[in-house]
Amino acid sequence: MKFLISLAFKNLTRYKRRTLITAGAIAFGLMMYIFIDSMLAGAEIESVRNLKWFETASARILNDEYWENRFQKPLDLSISNPDRIIQTLENNGIRATKRIVFSGDLILNADDFGEDGNLAATITAIDPVRDFRVFGFGTTLIEGRFLEPGEDAVLLGSWFAEDIGAEVGYWITFVTRGNGGFYEAMDLEVVGILNCPNPNVNRALLMMPISTADEYLDMDGAVTEINVALPDNADVPMEVERIQEMLNGDNLTVMSWEAMAVDYLALAEAKRGGTSTILFLIFIIAAVGISNTMLMAIFERIRELGMMRSLGMSDTKIRLAFMIEAAGIGIIGSAMGIVLGILANLYLVNVGIDYGFLLRDMDIGYRLQAIFRGVWNPGTMIKAFFIGVIISTLVAWFPTKRALKMDIPACLRHQ
């Protein structure tokens, strides 16, 4: 065995350039694997964070029938005693905030916006005191100020404000139907603009104080949802169950963020699957390269092979010798790939890639506004290293098998 290893590694130095080129193909495949895995993992981690901080919270309490009818945003399928529930949750160490979500038409006035117009929009009415304890909007203000309870004011997402040409100090009119079906129009002053990292939110965000909405919509203290923040390391399904038990008998349901973001999770899974296919193809190309290199190496040394077989070296040992040699290429290539992957990942983790130009107008599913940052994943690197070495080793089996099919005199005669 010692001899076989020594022979295999000495043979690697025989055609240095070819060894390096083949190792380079593996290195490129591995680098891509590490880079893309890091980028996707980073995008998923940040997307989940942005989902929870700006869209779904960790969990949400809703009227039993609300989720099925959520696209109509019904005000009558509400939670009638939110403050009592929030108090109960807080007594159990759980942060929570209430919201009213309703839709209607946004009327734009020519005085401010240059021309008259209207568009369908959704307003989220928040508790200006508690909301920032559950959601992450506290650090996103880029212009103006936050909301104050009871005022006729609205905050806009920066992309939404840009799209409609709104600025702080402008007035908008929002026409909607109140609880019971009556029409209501509310004039709201834009008091601030938020730059939310979640593009889906930033593209359509309108926020107003819940007390103002309660009055306009005649909610009588009812809300459409209570959002709950759980620690990052919390066992969400267990916490959801625990909250559900606290609400027993209230005709309310608790949904985890995963249940609400099921579309996003399916999309992320599909993207991961698609990317894995591409990476698999990269590895196949590298594997074909190695196989070809080994085929050339074997057939260039076919007389040596004949000699070794003549002297009584078994086919198994010969196969092993070539597979060790291929493993050597795999080790060199994988080591190079890991180094290149780390270098590429250093940039990805610290600087990231700005896809803002793409994400501004296109929804690709990820809750990222512009910059894709990577994460360090040593497990992936170890896995990539072993995949590189194992693939290299295995693909040498085919050309060796082919060479061993030749009879020994033919090997010895080979020119």
Partner 1 sequence: MIKVDNVVRNYHAGETVVKALRGVSLEIKKGEFLSIAGPSGSGKTTLLNLIGCIDQMDGGEISIKDEVISTMKKKEKTNFRRNNLGFIFQTYNLIPVLTAYENVAFVLSLLNLPEREVKDRTMAILKEVGLEGMEHRRPSRLSGGQQQRVAIARALVKNPEIILADEPTANLDSDTGREILELMKTMNEKHKTTFIFSTHDKMVMEFASRLVMLHDGQIQSDEKR
Whether the Cβ atoms of residue 364 and residue 199 lie closer than 8 Å to each other: no
213 within 8 A of 125, measured Cβ to Cβ: yes
Three-state secondary structure call for residue 144: strand
380/33 Cα distance (integer angstroms): 9
Return the number of the residue (159 or 322) whose C-beta is nearest partner 1: 322
Rounded to an integer, what distance in angstroms lies between the CA atom of residue 307 and that of residue 408? 8
Closest distance between partner 1 and the C-beta of residue 320, in Å? 13
In angstroms, what is the minimal distance from the CB of 1 to partner 1? 9
Q: Which is nearer to partner 1, 278 or 408 (CB)?
A: 408
| Closest to 341 in 3D by CA, of 280, 393, 391, 385 | 385
**How many chain residues interact with partner 1 (CB under 8 A)?**
24
- The stretch near partner 1 (CB under 8 A) out of 194-202, 243-251, 370-378, 405-413 is 405-413
Task: Please give the residues from 360 up to 389 whose contact with partner 1 meets the rule CB under 8 A.
Answer: none
Helix ranges restricted to H, 165-314: 199-202, 210-217, 236-246, 257-260, 262-300, 302-310
Q: Does 402 bind partner 1 (CB under 8 A)?
A: no
Site string for partner 1, 317-346 (x = CB under 8 A): x-----------------------------
Beta bridge partners of 141: 194
> Please, what is the minimum distance in Å from the beta carbon of residue 301 to partner 1?
8
Who contacts 300 (Cβ-Cβ below 8 Å, separation ≥6)?
none
Give the DSSP H or E segment for 131: helix 131-134
Q: Whole-number minimum distance, CB 10 to partner 1, in Å?
A: 4
- Residue-wise over 324-342: b if at least 16 C-beta within 10 A, else e? bbbbbbbbbbbbbbbebbe
Nearer to partner 1, 11 or 179 (CB): 11
Query: Mask: binding to partner 1, 276-315, rule CB under 8 A, as x and -?
Result: ---------------------------xx-xx-xxxxxxx
Give the nearest distance from C-beta 392 to partner 1 in angstroms. 20
Q: Enumerate residues 79-118 that contact partner 1 by CB under 8 A.
A: none
Cα 366 to Cα 341: distance, rounded to the nearest angstrom: 23
**Site string (9-38) toward partner 1, x via CB under 8 A:** -xx-xx------------------------
For the chain, report the end-to-end CA distance as a whole number of angstroms. 29
- CB nearer to partner 1: give 185 or 410: 410
Nearer to partner 1, 7 or 21 (CB): 7
The answer to whether 149 touches 128, Cβ cutoff 8 Å, is yes
Per CB under 8 A, residues contacting partner 1 are: 2-3, 6-7, 10-11, 13-14, 303-304, 306-307, 309-315, 317, 407-409, 412
